[in-house]
Amino acid sequence: MMHDETHGGDILMGDVVRLEDVLSRDSVTSVSRSYFNLFGIPVRVISHEGDLLADAHRDQPLCSYLNTLLNGAEQCAATVATVRDLEPNGELVVHPCFTGAVYRVVPLAHQGRPIGRFIVGPYLPAESNGPPASLTSVDGAVDPNTVRGHYNQMPRVREDIAMQLCDHLKGVIELLVFSGHRAQLASTMQVASVRENYRELAEKNEALKESYEELKQLDKLKSTFLATVSHELRTPLTSIIGYTEMLESGAAGALSDGQTEFLQTIRGKADELLGLISSLLDLGRLEAQNLELQHEAVDARALLSAVASTIVPAANRRNVTLDIDVAEDTPKIWGDSVRLRQILLNLADNAVKFTSEGGSVTLSAAAGELQTGGPSGLGSALFATTRPAVILTVRDTGMGIEEGKLPRIFDAFYQVDAGTTRTHGGAGLGLSIVKQLVDGHEGKIEVTSTLGQGTLFTVTLPAADDDA
């Protein structure tokens, strides 16, 4: 049998590699059975490699009888083997059987390439008059009357009808091949496209991973640099503040009013710089997760009062009303008192700073619940649990924040009024530190704002146990 002609086929170039790859066995079997049921002629479809893809036949009485005879069985097996292995080479082959019947071996091709064949038969030509001598003499035990009776039951077909039937069946099978080939080609191209897309995606993911690692390294270097510089700046700055206080106290002699004013300015700017350095150090420790929190039960009213007393001078200077509202049933907060004060002080200081003269800032506390645990996404409400919490809010009637800037306000060094014309100071670290401190307390912070009307920060923190 021939194999070399089809093995060179390339499905990506539009070639059919194997008949069984593009021809559905169920489809070709259904067609073959329909042909057999209509005309009573057996049909077998064989691939170029010799695999039987469809077999629609029913044993003829004559064939069954001959297979009971020794020589008859040998002759039948030899004939079937010969017909099965016939290669039509592009042309229909009519092969006679010793019984007087014939087989038609019809080639199947696609795009000029042989891909298989089908065999029609055995059947008797319509002009046959009786059993040939080769049938009656095949075995000494042959019964002529039995052979003649079975011979007359064989299907008969005229030559022109047999040709039309084979042409029709060939057209149907090759149409199935064409359809199957197109489906396989589309599927193969789709798989190739998916593989290429996957390869490109893998390359992009690898590039992103490398970029991410580089950014992590750069961020680590940035944090290390800031921590080192901040620490080195803190020592001389502390000395500057100390000597300034000594000069203000008259340790070096009496000062004139002008000298006192200059020293106060130096002291004020030094305090601002020390606050910035402390913020940088805090940010570095938070990013490195080296900041330890000392949890205890913290009274919300006392916390808000302490924060208010700290910022009231600034509020008075700006003519901003400062209010405190603590609900009676507010439980104590479970957290680090120093860091909780830092959270509220940052939020309250920003509220005063961004509120115009005549506005107001309100600090409030109330009991609430904090959602914890459970999966994120769809169904989280079904599996999540809640625990008692304290809800702290800082509301102002200031300038507000544009909606597009809200997602970034907790980023380090981001400033809402960034630019050379900005009127408010600060390095953009306060809210980033606030967010990380809230996260460190396993709490949640949210912000809503309306431009020109004000901003509301809501901090939800775990409540202390009753016996804490």
Q: Round to whole Å and give the CA distance between 163 and 158.
A: 9
- Using DSSP bridges, classify how beta strands 113-125 and 156-157 pair: parallel, antiparallel or unpaired: parallel
Count of CA atoms in the C-beta half-sphere (13 A) of 387: 15
105: CB partners within 8 A, 6+ apart: 83, 86, 88, 92, 93, 94, 95, 117, 118, 119
Whether residue 156 is found in the same domain as residue 15: yes
Q: What is the pLDDT of residue 7?
A: 42
Query: Tell me, what CATH number does 213's domain have?
Result: 1.10.287.130
Confirm if 181 and 173 have CB atoms less than 8 A apart: no
pTM for the whole thing? 0.47
Is 208 found in the same domain as 190?
A: no
378 inside domain: no
- What does each C-alpha distance from 259 to 245, 248, 252, 262 come to in angstroms? 13, 9, 12, 5
- Domains held by the chain: number: 3
In this structure, are 143 and 165 located in the same domain?
yes
Token pair 């049909």: residue: 43
Q: Are residues 311 and 422 in the same domain?
A: yes
Domain range for 267 is 203-285
In a domain, 11, yes or no: yes
CA distances from 202 to 198, 199, 207, 210, 457 (A): 6, 5, 9, 12, 41
Query: Is 221 found in the same domain as 346?
Result: no
Can you give the pLDDT at residue 455?
Answer: 93
The answer to whether position 291 is within a domain reads no
Give CA–CA dist 83/101, Å, rounded: 13
What is the predicted pLDDT for the residue at 431?
Answer: 85
Q: Are 261 and 153 in a shared domain?
A: no
379 found inside a domain: no
| Residue 180 confidence (pLDDT) | 75
465: burial class by Cβ within 10 Å (0-12, 13-18, 19+)?
Answer: exposed
Angle, helices 300-317/337-353, rounded to nearest 10 degrees: 30
Taking the mean position of all CA atoms in its chain, how far away is CA 377? Answer: 15
Looking at the fold, whether 254 and 217 belong to one and the same domain comes out as yes
Q: How far apart are CA 165 and CA 92, in angstroms?
A: 13
Q: Are residues 315 and 454 in the same domain?
A: yes
pLDDT at 15: 52
User: What is the reported pLDDT for 396?
Assistant: 93
Distance CA 76, CA 457 (A): 95
Q: Are 347 and 446 in contact (CB under 8 A)?
A: no
Strands across the sheet containing 444-450 = 321-326, 360-372, 385-396, 454-462, 444-450
Domain contains 467? no
The domain boundary residue, chosen from 257, 285, 313: 285
Residue 346 domain flag = yes
Do 354 and 399 fall within a single domain? yes
Contact between residue 361 and residue 323 where contact means Cβ atoms under 8 Å apart: yes
Distance between start and end Cα atoms, the chain: 91
Residue 30 identity (one-letter amino acid):
S
Q: Tell me the one-letter amino acid at 247.
A: L
Phi/psi at 375 (nearest 5 deg)? Answer: -75, 155
Last residue of a domain, one of 266, 285, 304: 285
448 and 312 share a domain?
A: yes
Q: Tell me the three-class secondary structure of the chain, residue by residue.
A: CCCHHHHCCCHHHCCCCCHHHHCCHHHHHHHHHHHHHHHCCCEEEEECCCCEEEEECCCCHHHHHHCCCHHHHHHHHHHHHHHHCCCCCCCCEEEECCCCCEEEEEEEEECCEEEEEEEEEEEEECCCCCCCHHHHCCCCCCCHHHHHHHHHCCCEECHHHHHHHHHHHHHHHHHHHHHHHHHHHHHHHHHHHHHHHHHHHHHHHHHHHHHHHHHHHHHHHHHHHHHHHHHHHHHHHHHHHHHHHHHHCCCCCCCCHHHHHHHHHHHHHHHHHHHHHHHHHHHHHHHCCCCCCCCEEECHHHHHHHHHHHHHHHHHHCCCEEEEEECCCCCCEEECHHHHHHHHHHHHHHHHHCCCCCCEEEEEEEEEEEEECCCCCCCHHHHCEEEEEEEEEEEECCCCCCHHHHHHCCCCCCCCCCCCCCCCCCCCCHHHHHHHHHHHCCCEEEEEEECCCEEEEEEEEEECCCCC
Q: Does residue 376 sit within a domain?
A: no
Going residue by residue through the chain, which has 468 residues, state the pLDDT in tens, using 9 for 90 and above: 334 444 444 444 445 556 777 777 888 888 889 888 888 889 999 888 888 888 888 888 888 888 888 888 898 899 888 888 888 888 888 999 988 899 999 998 877 778 888 999 899 898 888 888 888 888 888 888 888 888 888 888 888 888 988 888 888 888 888 777 777 777 778 888 888 888 899 999 999 999 999 888 887 777 777 667 766 777 787 888 888 888 888 887 888 888 888 888 887 788 767 766 776 666 666 665 666 788 999 999 999 999 999 889 889 999 999 999 999 999 999 998 888 988 898 899 889 998 989 999 999 999 999 887 555 544 555 556 788 999 999 999 998 888 888 888 887 665 655 443 345 545 567 788 888 888 888 899 999 998 888 999 999 999 988 755
Are 298 and 335 in contact, with CB atoms under 8 Å apart? yes
CATH code at 69? 3.30.450
Of 258, 285, 312, which residue is a domain's last? Answer: 285
Residue 96: C-alpha distances to residues 76, 169, 353 (Å) = 12, 21, 107
Residues 330 and 350 in one domain: yes
Alpha carbon distance 436, 459 (integer Å): 12
Phi, psi of 244 (to 5 degrees): -65, -45
Whichever domain contains 447, its CATH number is: 3.30.565.10
Is residue 35 a part of any domain in this protein?
yes
421 with 274, same domain? no
